[in-house]
Amino acid sequence: MTQFGLIGLCGAITKQLGKLREYDTQYVNIMINGRPARAMVDTGAEANIITKTEATRLGLSYSPSNAQLKTVNAPPTPVCGVAHGVSITLGKWQGKTNFIVALLDLFDIIHRQEFFQ
C-alpha cells in the first residue's frame, strides 16, 4: 500500500458516536469488585487503566502515586494511584489484576490485551 493509500485508510477511521451494540467486540462486560462495568479492550495499552470516578463507583481502594501516564498524541497525565489485586470476573473466569487510576477522557476503563490472554 502506498503512503497516500495508508493516509486515506486512516482518514476513514473515525470515532463512532451513538449507542453501543451487543456485538461490539472492542468492549466487554466485566465484574470488578463484584460490580458490573463495561471496559474497552486496547491492544496497544501497557496497563489496565480506570478513572478515579469509576474506581470510586466500584469501591476500589488505591495507593497514591506521583507517576505520569503517557498516551499517544497527548501530554503526560498525572496518575492518581494504583489499585492492586482487584477482583475481576469475565464470563466464568475470575482473577485479580492491577489498575492505574488516572484521568481519562473517552473511556472509564481500559484493559490491555495481555489481560485477556
Span 9-50, pLDDT tens digits = 344 434 444 555 554 458 889 999 999 999 988 877 888 999
Domain of residue 13, CATH code: 2.40.70.10
Span 66-82, pLDDT tens digits = 999 887 777 888 899 99
In a domain, 117, yes or no: no
In a domain, 14, yes or no: yes
Span 77-111, pLDDT tens digits = 889 999 999 999 988 888 899 999 998 877 888 87
Q: Please compute Rg for the chain using Cα positions.
A: 16
- The grid coordinates of residue 90 equal 469475565
Residues spanned by the domain of 14: 5-112
Can you give the three-state secondary structure of the chain, one letter per residue?
CCHHHHHHHHHHCCCCCCCCCCCCCCEEEEEECCEEEEEEEECCCCCCEECHHHHHHCCCCCEECCCEECCCCCCCEEEEEEEEEEEEEECCEEEEEEEEEECCCCCCEEEEHHHHC
In a domain, 21, yes or no: yes
In a domain, 75, yes or no: yes
In a domain, 18, yes or no: yes
Q: How many domains does the chain have?
A: 1
In a domain, 17, yes or no: yes
